[in-house]
Amino acid sequence: MSTRPWIVGDDLWALIEPLLAPWPEKAPGPRPVDDRLCLQGILYVLHNDIAWQLLPLELGFGSGQTCWRRLDR
């Protein structure tokens, strides 16, 4: 088992990416965090059983709120 099971490998991402809705071209606000990074952030929160607000920004997954909104979307 991986020591970081929230990391999504290329093979798994190739299966997941086509299932995601495309991001709207004219979405307001800053450029969104990459879907793959958000998914890894979601998996990190679930694996470590932490609150969304406690997702460390240093990991590069975006904020907990960003990951939560992407999961909701």
Over range 14-25, report the average pLDDT. 88
Give the pTM: 0.86
Q: Which pLDDT value is given to residue 63?
A: 94
pLDDT digits (tens, 9 = 90+) for 25-55: 776 777 788 999 999 999 999 999 999 999 9
Distance, in Å, from the CA atom of 57 to the CA atom of 63, rounded to the nearest integer, reads: 6
What is the pLDDT, as a whole number, of residue 29? 73
